[in-house]
Structure 1
Amino acid sequence: MAPKEEVWNPSVETVTPVITLSFYFYPTSTTGVVIQREGFAFSYSEEFEQSEWVAYSLSSLDFSNRNFNRPFFIEDPKVKSRSADWRNYKKSGYDKGHLCPAGDRKSSYKAFEETFYTSNISPQLHEFNDGVWNRLEQKVRYWAKKYDGLYVVTGGVLSDNLKSIGEENVAVPNYFYKILMTKDGKKMIGFLVPHEDSEKALYEFVMDVNTIEKMTGIDFFPKLPDAVENKMEKSNDYKEWSF
């Protein structure tokens, strides 16, 4: 049975568990393979052996000071076509880069553990993963606390002729994106970050969401009213966000 349609009202909090993204805010999928876990949802691309997007809600309750033991990366049993084996990354020169960071899912061990399924990773250069991408992830946590919660969508830009690694040809994106919307539905911001080491300020990677949609073929918040969606997705003004 399909879930009951929700009525958009930016002044009312969406009725969902803290760590779950409401179906209402799922992006579209170019693959038709959308899977919901406890802590996030994702759209898996067998062609590229990774998710085209991972989506989740984030609040200050999700990044507690709990120190969980890191589990091993394993294939995702919910992906019927089988997600990529972690051995594709072995001696590849690339990190197993989390899309939904483990540090964003500390409300429970189960939510934390789920981030180590290979459906939630993408090949990332260590200097990128530990550098500019990590800086952006930390800033997202800052905003989640400051603005009383965010919806987050993130992934690599998957396209033809990408480099690949391993026997399963896991694609290596040239760009990674992150799109944020405050839970009150009043602010949205997009980031498009080249897959390389960078010391640039984070605001230099701000990109209007419309451009990221054209690059990926994904509509990130399709159920927003058109007037609201069009206004927020055309903007690349970062001045409303505290950098």
Structure 2
Amino acid sequence: MKNRTIYALLITLCVIGFWLFENFYTPATYSNPNGAKGDLVHTDFLPYSTTGEVVQHAYYTLSYSEPHEQAEWVAYTLKREHLTYEDRERPYFIEDPKVKTKSADWWNYRGSGYDRGHLLPAGDRRFSEQAYNETFYTSNISPQNKYFNAGIWNRLEQKVRYWCKKYGDLIVVTGGVLENGLEEIGSEDIDVPNSFYKIVLKGNGGGAQVLAFLIPAEESQEPLQNFVVPVDEIEEKTGIDFFQNQPENWQSAMEARVDTQDWKF
């Protein structure tokens, strides 16, 4: 009888401990403790958040979707001085301490058959250890087919770096198309997007130029140009107003246009 009581007590303590861990554990942080900010996208160019959960890190901003357990968009600037080649040690993926509902644990990806695909690429943030490590918050990853991740998606990321070197500062907004009925993985039901988008802006004011891509989440050998679409099309699929703070006439002109003439492929 005594042994059974001890056993029941241990089980109860384990259950309580697990509950406390799940509800009050704060993961380690890669954020700068002094709160310093780097080159962030100005609010004039931040998209609308359909979830109201906007998180700002030192070097990028995101809107987190708790129902889908990932960001609906990640927005960041890319400058020539960011494109360095420091050999950084890859850190662990950790939960984002700034997401109120907690971002999904990376363990959900184990055995799923999907890569932990970066939205803001780690390769765009090698110029600083903190900037690099911040890309390993699980709020910045989405399930991706490994051939897609290492293939056409990687080619697009490299092309964006090429454009940055050629044209100068860029604003990039990227994410998966989050919708109902998607496949889910892990105990936290992380949705697997069927397609991903990337919107790239160069210049400003009337001289600004926008290029938007919508790519099915599978490897393709087709040229990147074949996946260029109007921003309007991505807005229709995602419900996100990407340039909500820009004048209506600017949005009308930029978001309906598909023009690759001034972008060297």
Instruction: Using structure 1 for the length normalisation, give the TM-score.
Output: 0.91
2:38/2:58 contact within 8 Å kept: no
Query: Bigger radius of gyration, 1 or 2?
Result: 2
Secondary structure of the 1:180 match is: strand
2:153 corresponds, among 121, 130, 133, to 133
Hey, what does 1:144 align to over in structure 2? 164
1:184, CA displacement in angstroms?
A: 2.7
Question: Aligned equivalents of 1:145 and 1:224: distance in 2?
Answer: 26
**Equivalent-residue separation in structure 2 for 1:118 and 1:94 (angstroms):** 14
Aligned to 2:116: 96
What corresponds to 1:215 in structure 2? Answer: 237
The equivalent position to 1:48 in structure 2, one of 68, 75, 81, is 68
Cα separation, 2, equivalents of 1:26 and 1:232: 15
Secondary structure of the 1:222 match is: coil
Q: Corresponding residue for 2:49?
A: 29
- Alpha-carbon distance, 1:18 to partner: 6.0
| Aligned twin of 1:157 | 177
Match of 1:106 among 115, 126, 139: 126
Structure 1 counterpart of 2:7:
none
Name the residue aligned to 1:174.
194
Equivalent position of 1:233 in the other structure: 255
Q: 2:136 is aligned with what amino acid? A: F
Question: Aligned residue for 1:224?
Answer: 246
Corresponding residue for residue 7 of structure 1: none
TM norm structure 2: 0.84
Whether contact under 8 Å (2:182, 2:192) holds in the other structure is yes
Instruction: Return structure 1 stretches of 4+ with deviation > 6 angstroms.
Output: none
Code of the aligned partner of 2:230:
D
Over aligned residue pairs, what C-alpha RMSD do you find? Answer: 1.0
Q: Determine if contact 2:85/2:127 at 8 Å carries over to the other structure.
A: no
The equivalent position to 2:104 in structure 1, one of 74, 84, 100, is 84
Gaps spanning 5+ residues in structure 2: where?
A: 1-36
Hey, which of these two has a bigger chunk of helix by percent?
Answer: 2
Structure 1, unpaired ranges of 5+: 1-16
